[in-house]
Chains A and B, each alone.
Chain A
Amino acid sequence: MLPPGAILVDDRGTGWWQAADDPQGIALPISGAVNQTLLGLDLAATAALWNGARLDLLAAQSGFGRLDLS
């Protein structure tokens, strides 16, 4: 379970999850392509699986309600 955060992208289009209150802190790379709409949503909580190198997003709670990301 990840705390409040958001999805960001790097120059190559790879998505990263980053904590909301720690913009300079840890960022976890996301496996696979990221839905562009997610980039505009604040995620109050995110459920994801860490495979040792990448994050597999499962679900999240946002201002638009629950998001099924699996």
Chain B
Amino acid sequence: MNEGEQTGLATMRDCWITGGATFDLAPTAWKTIAGRASPDEQERRLLAIAAQALDVALRPAAPKTLKRRPPLPRLALPMLPERLRPLLRAALKHAADARRKTRVVTLVASRGFVLHPMDWMPVASDQNSPDVYAPWIDWQASLDGERHAPQEKLTAENWDEFYPTARRIALADMRRSEPASARILVEAKASGEPAEVRLALVELMRFGLNPEDAPFLKSLSADRSGKVRELAGRLLARLGEDGRSNDGGPDDPAAELAAFISEGKSGFIRRRSIYTPAKLKSPAQEKRRAELFETCNLVDLAARFGATEPEFIGAWQFGADNNADILIARMVAASGSDAAVTHMADALVADGGKPALFVLHLTPRLDSRRKRALVRLILKQANYLNSINLAEGIDAGWLEWDDLSNGSALAALRSSVAGNDDAMRRGADDILETIGFLATAITAAKLIDEVVAAGMPPAAPSLSVLRLNAALAEHQSKTDT
């Protein structure tokens, strides 16, 4: 129907609205159909034709370039049972941000299920979801859908046939089992990739990092990207090697940072070194010290004092300057050797108290056992229970009832729930959400009973993750504890 016909039809419609006859206004072809009848029948026939014309001829025409997305891949785990989806949606709704939603997704994956794609989908840039979602992340990122994630092992020849996330996960797996093969692949392929991808590939070297990686990491000191050079330097530092060229000189940042630290002696018989943050005189000094902690490597700083990394960390006086403690913890996490990281974590967790919370900065570098020990300590102490929400990369579904009931955590939670302090209640809500992720199904069910008995409404949204966890009980996978 062209514009003239549409205008004519509008005129006919206006005429009907005002009660007039439209036969004379109708197109010639319509008059042929309606013309042999009585005037009333003519109008009825024209009305029928006009209605059809409006319904069919004015329907938007589909453009010729309609695009179809490739089919959403099936994942390796079964879909969450339909009956549990309302609980899941409640838990996702209560999860305030992407990090918390990812925890819900991780909990479900730990019990052997994936989510329905209409309930949750990872975004294209997602790097925190369980590996089982890699096909969906690549589906989100793909525009053409021409590549298909192959089932065979990643090689230099089939490199381009892998979607980025599938490739990243394959490389991470390879780094754990065959680190040298993975390094050779990264070495061969990274240089041809843009800086952002190179950075992500080099970042994978942290898995199974070993001294054989040092020559490749040193070669990256000539990389075009400053971020890649910095990352390679950090990884080299973890190996106890210095990737910098200006060590020892007056412009060495490690020397400048060392000036912010006082060395003293402790003990009457066996005098041993201790390191304490120097008193700062201005915010500018504070800012400069923070910058230096971020850019320097632990091995270089320890070397300034003639100490090994574990010796330096062991002699650091935690508790003297909270900001400096946070900065050194971050430095250890970023550039400390594995020995330094585990030494710091073990020592602080063994000593307990507030300094143990600095270990939260190390969790990305800690093994599962140490992370669990830290969580158990936080629950046992209960003074800083809210800090449990800061723990990153912890496994889902392992926290036993004894871990909660042996310390003060349960009593503190009950007290917060039963009290009238809104801030304490909100804090308890957050803790319950985190424990909902960490707990076994049995622990989750018991904890729901406890806090409901303490006065929390049974349908409270803050119980949603615990309820989902408990409902997944019969499907609990055989993970380690």
How many angstroms from the CA of A38 to the CA of B71 in the assembled complex?
10
Contact status B121-A37, CB under 8 Å: yes
Q: Which of A1-15 contact B (CB under 8 A)?
A: 6, 8-11
Q: Bound state CA distance, A8 and B62, in angstroms?
A: 10
Whether B67 contacts A10 by the Cβ 8 Å rule is yes
Chain B nearest Cβ from A14, distance in angstroms: 9
Cβ contacts under 8 Å, B121 to chain A: 36-37
Contacts of A35 in B (CB 8 A): 118
Residue of chain B at shortest CB distance from A39:
B69
Inter-chain CA distance A11–B79, complex, in Å, is: 33
Contacting residue for B62 out of A18, A37, A68, CB 8 A:
A18
Whether A42 and B62, one on each chain, are in contact in the complex, defined by CB atoms closer than 8 angstroms, is no
B66's contact among A27, A41, A67, A68, by CB below 8 Å, is which?
Answer: A27
* Count: A-B pairs, CB below 8 Å: 58
Residue of A nearest to B120 (CB): A37
Contact A53 B72 (CB under 8 A): no
- CB distance B116 to A65 under 8 Å? yes
Cβ-defined contact, B70 with A40, below 8 A: yes
* Nearest-CB residue, chain B, relative to A60: B118
Q: How far is the CA of A26 from the CA of B56 in the complex (A)?
A: 11
Residues in B with CB closer than 8 Å to A6 are 68
Interface centre among B62, B68, B72, B117 (most CB of A within 10 A): B62
**Do the beta carbons of A10 and B116 come within 8 Å of each other?**
no
Does the CB pair B118–A8 fall under 8 Å?
no
B67 near A9 with CB under 8 A, answer yes
CB distance from A38 to the nearest CB of B (A): 8
Interface presence of B139 (CB below 8 A)? yes
Per-residue A-contact encoding for B72-103, CB less than 8 Å = 1, 0 else: 10100001001000000000000000000000
Bound-complex Cα distance A41 to B63 (A): 21
The interface bits of chain B over 115-126 (1 if a CB of A lies within 8 angstroms of the residue's CB, else 0) are: 011100100000
Chain B residues contacting A16 (CB-CB under 8 Å) are 62, 66
- Please indicate the chain B residues that have their CB under 8 angstroms from the CB of A64 in the complex: 72, 79, 116-118
Q: Could you give, for residues 28-70 of chain A, a 1 whenever the CB lies within 8 Å of some chain B CB and a 0 otherwise? A: 0100000111111110000000001100000000011101100
B63 touches A10 (CB 8 A): yes
Residues of B close to A53: CB separation below 8 A = 58-60
A39, B55: Cα distance in complex, Å: 27
Which B residues are in CB contact (< 8 Å) with A26?
62
Assembly CA distance A21 to B294 (angstroms): 60
Per the bound structure, the CA–CA distance linking A28 and B71 in Å amounts to: 20
> Contact at A11–B63, with CB atoms within 8 Å?
yes
Min CB gap B377→A, angstroms? 41
Tell me, rounded to whole Å, the shortest Cβ–Cβ distance linking A20 to chain B: 11
Specify the chain B residue showing the minimal Cβ separation from A29: B60
Decide yes or no whether B65 CB sits under 8 A from chain A: yes
Q: Least Cβ distance of A54 to chain B in Å?
A: 8
Least CB separation from B59: chain A residue? A53
Q: Collect the chain B residues with CB atoms within 8 Å of residue A68's CB.
A: 118
The listed residue with most B CB atoms (<10 A of its CB), out of A8, A26, A52, A68, is A8
Q: Which of A27, A40, A52 contacts B69 (CB 8 A)?
A: A40
Establish whether residues A42 and B71, one from each chain, have CB atoms under 8 Å apart when the complex forms: yes
Chain A contacts for B59, CB-based, 8 A = 53
Known: A53-B59, A65-B116. A40 touches B139 (CB 8 A): yes
Chain A residues with CB under 8 Å of B67's CB are 8-10
Task: Please determine whether A9 and B118 come into contact, CB atoms closer than 8 angstroms.
Answer: no
Q: Beyond A18-B62, A53-B59, A53-B60, is A39–B118 a contact (Cβ under 8 Å)?
A: no
CB contacts (< 8 Å) of A63 on chain B: these are 74
Give, as a whole number of angstroms, the nearest-CB distance from B303 to chain A: 52
Q: A37-B121, A65-B82 are in contact. Are A9 and B70 (CB under 8 A)?
A: no
Output the least CB separation between B67 and chain A (Å): 6
In the complex, chain A residues whose CB is within 8 Å of the CB of B58: 53
For A37, list chain B residues within 8 Å (CB): 72, 117-118, 121
B147: shortest Cβ distance to chain A, in Å?
Answer: 15
CB–CB B72/A41 < 8 A: yes
B66 touches A18 (CB 8 A): yes
What are 22 A-B residue pairs whose CB atoms fall within 8 Å in the complex? Answer: A8-B66, A8-B67, A8-B68, A10-B62, A10-B66, A10-B67, A18-B66, A26-B62, A29-B60, A29-B62, A36-B69, A37-B121, A40-B70, A41-B71, A42-B71, A52-B54, A53-B58, A63-B74, A64-B117, A64-B118, A65-B116, A68-B118
Shortest Cβ-Cβ A-B pairs, 7 listed: A40-B72, A27-B62, A39-B69, A8-B66, A10-B63, A40-B69, A37-B117
Beyond A9-B66, A65-B82, 13 additional pairs, beta carbon < 8 A: A6-B68, A8-B66, A8-B68, A10-B62, A10-B63, A10-B65, A18-B66, A27-B66, A29-B60, A37-B117, A39-B68, A41-B71, A41-B117
Measured CB to CB, the residues of B under 8 A from A are 54-55, 58-60, 62-63, 65-72, 74, 79, 82, 116-118, 121, 139
